[in-house]
Every structure is written in structure tokens, then in C-alpha cells.
Amino acid sequence: MQNTFTFSPDSVLACIHAALPPQRQNQRNLPGLAKRLSNLVLAEHLPDRLDAWRSMTTWLSGGSLWSDVYIDSADVHGSATQRFAVLMDVLAATPPLAAAVRAALRCILEETEGANLFGEVGIPSDRGFLSEFGDRLTSKLIPSPRDDHDLGHLMNRSYQRRRDLTLIRGLQPSTLQRAVDILFPADAPEMTAALERAMADGFRLLVARVQGQGLSLKLRARSQPGPVARSPFKRLADSGENLLCAWEQARLTGDLLDAWREDVVACRDEMQLISTRLESEGISVDIVYGLDVLERCIARMEAIVAVMSTGREAPGPVLLLLQQLAYAARESTSLRHLVRSNLQRLQRRIVDRAGKTGEHYIAETPADYRHIWAAAAGGGLLTVGTAAMKMAIAGAGLALFMEGFASGLNYAVSFLILQALGLILATKQPAMTAAAFAAIIRDRKGGERLEVIVDYATCICHSQLAATIANVVVVATGAYAFDAMWQWITGHSFLSMTEATYVFQALSPVDSGTVFYAALTGCILYLAALVGGWVDNWAVYHRLPQAIAEHRLGLRFGRLRMIRLAGVVSRNMSGWATNISLGLMLGMTPVLGKFFGLPLDVRHVTLNSGILSLATASLDVEWVGTGLLSLAILGVAVMFVLNLGVSFALSLMTAVRAYDLSPDDLRDLGRRLWHRLCTRPRDFIMPPRRPIPPASST
């Protein structure tokens, strides 16, 4: 019968119709299945077979076939496996077609190498995070050549989109067992021999990766001290090789399995120790990347060992291994997954450091509230000088780069003085208080958590409002006083009429880029907080304070002085980095915009309040009624909203991603905040009447 079967699309379609009830034979997707089956069994060369196989798997992942079949919403696999069930029905009812499909599949397995399928797919390279990121980015920009003799390459090509996982996600062990019985029958051991050899080779590749990565210098330096021979990663390699040799010789025993699993537990304990030390000693992306490689390798080895220990009689482990391979292939090309999985710990570190700094910006008691008013007033007074120096630099006619650098240096020095004197600049608050807010969300547990969060949210709100009002009022008043003193000394206003007119026009939110520039400034404030957290982590990771304390200069200046200097650096590194980077970014952004011809500028609410006051003091009284002043004041109000709102939103979003807060918790929190605002609006503008409980776990 097989010799007379033509395997043309029409013949295959007739077989499909014969295997289905009459009411199902007119489904419009069935000719597509017939064409794909025909292409698979008639293909004469490996590339054609692989293309036909990929086309077949794409069709199988196409979703449900029968719209009149009721599927319970809880049934996540009913619609996903309808097409697969039809294929199995057709193969079971048509032995010649099933034999032809098996022959095509056997040719694929004999002409390809499968070690990379089990040992490399979804396992990042050993070259580090940046190299892996570059490889993935390059693969998205430049098409990669085909490697038809590598099953791992076929797996990566087959699962590039989310919809490609439809079938493998819904497949059940019983359904898979039926496919195994048809395509890999027990009386044809040669069908599984190639896969078993590939799985063994892949297991050896994984063993080598675990041993090499686990015994690398960067991980050994943070592991339990001891000889290399006693390292759990070395022991896992030895027990893994013993287990594999026993499986290949069909003498696998429970003792070998138990010994291997004990070594797996020891490896994970060692990885947890390294992870814990990272949290206290500073995060390294390369070490986090190495731990991720180890975890993926061990998880893949566990899936392979489960298949080895059960065999074809238990389809569950085989299905889990297939699903792991498919998901890993999908993730292996994702830049987003790579960045998220490896930078999350660094994000947490940055959030934690910013959160500790942000606690000083939250008024939890009336005394704290009064301190914020006083510190913000001092910050506004200092900003008067900063604004005056900014206008002097702008009018000095310096070269473009020198003007930007001088402005940035002016801002940076001003911010460093603010830090040294304990003063407050309102626009620097959101990036820090949002992190502290997220840390409270992370640490609080139990039913009272959301109420405590709402209490802290009100404290954050009235603290920032108080700081902003104090900044703006004092900087405006101080600017008028400065201009009056300048006129008394020089006989003319600090700003010329032309300069003052330009200030009014530049601050207008209607006919200038103030709205965009204010939002951009909010982004810069957020980025400066990230830089501060990153530099602080870098200093801790490289043990910079210890290096300063032990420096040879201690022989000249005294060891005690060097220890004190190390303490100063440790306490202030994050703040220094934040302030310097913020100042330089504020100063250089307009310069970069002019250099590249881009509409880039900054609008900082406190600084521009001082500049506006200087401009107003430089104009005659009749200018007040022209409308320019009203537009400029409106522009300052827009800056207040966007500076604080954008930086707070970006910082809170980073904190939420770092600690994986659930959408349900965020929605519930939003409802509670809205309810508090409607019922007790005074809490958002007045100081707290009672201390807020400490943010500790319950």
C-alpha cells in the first residue's frame, strides 16, 4: 500500500478527511496541513526537510480549529492542542503516511548534531553580560546564516515569537505519549538512539560549563574557602559523569542519583552564599550573570536526569524537558529578558541606596517637617547665587563647550555645598523618596501594609510640597534682594533688558519648549539618582573605603586620618556622584543639543524661579501688564509639576520592577490613596500628627 501512495497534497488531504467526521472535513485550515505533510515526506534534502518541519510546527501552533467546541476558560490547553490531535488522528489512521513521516524525521536526526540542542540552547555564553548583549543585538540587526546540521539552531529558529509557544505550552503528557508511540515506536530503537546520544553529549557540555563557571576566580573569591577538589561544583562534575556513564551502560542506580542530587543541593547552597555576599559587598553584573548561567545549567541537567531516570514509560519528564528547551530558545534571543534578569539585583541595590538617602527627605514628625522648611529655605537661598552665576556664565560669551562645562561645574559645586550643609533642593527629592517608598512596600507584610504605605505617601507629598514652596519663595525673595544690592553697588540691574526679555520668552509654556525641557529635566534628575546608586555600589564592590584606609599615604598623614577619610567617602560617595552627575548633565545638555542640532535644554523649577526673579527685577513696572510675566509664572508652575512628576514616576517604576510588585497591589494602593485624598486631603498638605511606624517587616 505504501508503494502506491503518492503523498501528494490531494492524497494527503483525502487521508485527513477520512480520519475526521464528516462535519469536520470542510475546515479551511486542513488543506494547509495536507500541503505541509506532503512537503515534509517528499523533501529530498536536509534544508527542505527542516523548512517543512518548521512550517509544520508553525501550523500546529496556530490555535483552535473548531469554533463550535466549548472550551472552559480554565482549560489552557484545549484549543492549543486541537491541531496536534488532528495530526495524530491522521497518522494513526494512515500507517503509510505515519511511516513516511517517521522516515523523514529519522533522516533529520541522522543528518544533524543534537548536542547543542540539550547543552547550549538558552544557556548564555561564558564571555559575560556585555558580550551576550552584543551578540543578541547583532542578531536582531544582522541576519545570521543557517546551520542546518545543528538541532539547536533549528530550535532557536522555531521559537522566536510568543505564538510559537502555543502548542508546547498546552501539550499534556498523555498527548505527548501518543505522539511518541506513533513517531518513536518501541520496535524502532534507532529512532531514539540519536536523541539519546545527543542528550548525553549535551549533558557533558553542561557539566563542563558548571565546573568552569563555578570554579572561576570571580565566584571562588566569594565562595566558602577550601581546596578546589572539595568545591561542590567540582563534585557535581564528578558525580554527573559517573551518573551519565552508568546510564549509557544501562546500570543507573538510586545511589548514583542520590549522590548527584546531594551535589546539586550543595551547589545551590554555594550559589546562595555568593548571592548573599553580593548584597552586602556590592553587586557585579558579571557575577550575577555567572550565577544565572549556573542556575540555567543545573536546571537543564535536572530535567535531563529526570528523563534518564524514568525513560519513555513516563512522558511527564520528557514534556518538561521539551517545554524548558522551547522557553529557553524563546528567551535566548530576547534583549529585554537578558537585561531584566541580570540587572534586577543592581536595580535593587540602587533603589536601596537611594531609599536610605530619601528617608532624610520625608517628614515623619512635626520636628522633621519644620526641619524640611528650614533646610529647603537654606537651599533656596544658596540657589540665588547659583542662578546669578548661571546668568553670568551665559552672558560671558564663552565657547560652547566651555559654557556648558562652566554651567555644569556651577551646578555641581552648588549641589555639593547643599549636601555638605544638609540643605534641601526640592527637585532632588522625588528620585530618592520614590525609592524609599518602594522599600516600604517591599518590607511591609500583612494586612496593615497598605495603610502604612498610604501614611508614608501623605508624608512624602506634604514634605515635597513644603520643600518646593520654601525653595521657590526664598529663591525669589533672595533674587530680588541680590538685584537690589547689585543696583546699589553698580548702578544698574544684574540682567540687561535684552537678557531679561529673553528669560521671559524662554520660560513661556506656550511659545517655547518649556514643557518638553521640564520633562527632560525630570529624566535627568532620575538618571542622576541612578548614577549615584551605581557609583556607591561600585565603591562597595571594589572595597574603595578599605583601599583608602590601607593606602600607603597613611604612613605620612597618619593611619587614623586615612580611616576617617575612608568613612567620609563611604558615607558620601552616593551623594557626591549624584550631585556631580546632575550638575554636569544640567550644564552640558543644552550644549549637546546645539552641537547635534537637537531641541535639548533644561528647565529646573528652583533655578528658573531665581532667574525669573532676577529678570523681573530688571524690567520696568509697565512690563507687568504685558502678559509675559503671567506666562513665565505659568511656565515655572509647569516645571514644578513635570520636574517632580517625571522623576518620581521613573524612580517608582524602577523600584516596582526591582522588587516585582504585583499589579493587584499597585491598583489596591491607588484606590486607597484616592480614598485618603477624598476623605482627608489635609494629610497631603499638613505635617503628620503622629510618628509613622518604622518600615520593618512584620
pLDDT given for residue 688 in this prediction: 54
User: What distance, in Å, lies between the first and last C-alpha atoms of the chain?
Assistant: 74
Residue 368 has which C-alpha cell?
Answer: 522633621
Question: 357 pLDDT exceeds 60?
Answer: no
Residue range 352-684, CATH number: 1.20.1080
Q: Which of 643, 583, 589 is nearest to 411 (CA)?
A: 583
Least confident of 406-410, 433-437, 637-641: 433-437
Question: 417 pLDDT exceeds 60?
Answer: yes
Residue-wise over 452-476: b if at least 16 C-beta within 10 A, else e?
bbbbbbbbbbbbbbbbbbbbbebbb
pLDDT given for residue 697 in this prediction: 41
Report the range out of 227-231, 406-410, 423-427, 529-533 with the highest average pLDDT.
406-410
Question: 78 pLDDT exceeds 60?
Answer: no
**Alpha carbon distance 530, 55 (integer Å):** 46
Mean pLDDT for all residues in the chain:
83
Query: What mean pLDDT do residues 427-433 have?
Result: 61
Q: Which of 696, 528, 697 is nearest to 604 (CA)?
A: 528
Radius of gyration of the chain (CA): 33
Cα-based angle 631, 383, 682 (whole degrees, multiple of 5): 70
* Amino acid, res. 38: S
pLDDT given for residue 402 in this prediction: 93
Q: Which of 259, 252, 263, 260 is nearest to 309 (CA)?
A: 252
pLDDT given for residue 695 in this prediction: 45
For the segment 151-195, what is each residue's pLDDT rounded down to a tens digit?
Answer: 888 888 888 888 888 888 888 888 888 888 888 887 778 878 888
Question: 385 pLDDT exceeds 60?
Answer: yes
Report the range out of 115-124, 351-360, 453-462, 492-501 with the highest average pLDDT.
115-124
Report the range out of 24-28, 78-82, 617-621 with the highest average pLDDT.
24-28
Query: What mean pLDDT do residues 594-602 have?
Result: 89
Q: Do the Cβ atoms of 260 and 240 come closer than 8 Å?
A: yes
**Alpha carbon distance 291, 268 (integer Å):** 10
Question: 71 pLDDT exceeds 50?
Answer: no
Taking the CA of residue 697 as centre, how many other CA atoms within 13 Å lie in the half-sphere pointing to its CB?
2
Alpha helices by DSSP H, 69-215: 82-93, 95-111, 115-119, 129-141, 151-158, 166-170, 173-183, 190-214
**Alpha carbon distance 252, 306 (integer Å):** 12
**Alpha carbon distance 152, 528 (integer Å):** 43
The dihedral over CA atoms of 605, 609, 610, 614, expressed in degrees to the nearest 10, equals 150
**Alpha carbon distance 302, 292 (integer Å):** 15
Name residue, grid cell 537661598: 381
3 state SS of 113: strand
pLDDT band at residue 382, thresholds of 50, 70 and 90? very high
pLDDT given for residue 551 in this prediction: 87
pLDDT given for residue 350 in this prediction: 65
Question: 286 pLDDT exceeds 90?
Answer: no
Give the total residue count for the chain: 698
Q: Percent of the chain at pLDDT above 70? A: 86
Query: What mean pLDDT do residues 214-236 have?
Result: 89
Residue 405 has which C-alpha cell?
Answer: 562645562
For the segment 390-403, what is each residue's pLDDT rounded down to a tens digit?
Answer: 888 988 888 989 99
DSSP state of 150: B
pLDDT given for residue 433 in this prediction: 59
**Alpha carbon distance 545, 385 (integer Å):** 33
Quote the pTM value. Answer: 0.71
Question: 698 pLDDT exceeds 80?
Answer: no
pLDDT given for residue 356 in this prediction: 53
pLDDT given for residue 70 in this prediction: 43
Report which of residues 449 and 294 the model is more confident about: 294
**Would you list the domain boundaries of the chain?**
352-684
Number of C-beta neighbours around residue 68 at 10 A: 6
Report the range out of 54-68, 165-179, 364-378, 514-528 with the highest average pLDDT.
514-528
Q: Which of 221, 216, 239 is nearest to 298 (CA)?
A: 239
pLDDT given for residue 452 in this prediction: 73
Query: What mean pLDDT do residues 365-388 have?
Result: 88
pLDDT band at residue 68, thresholds of 50, 70 and 90? low
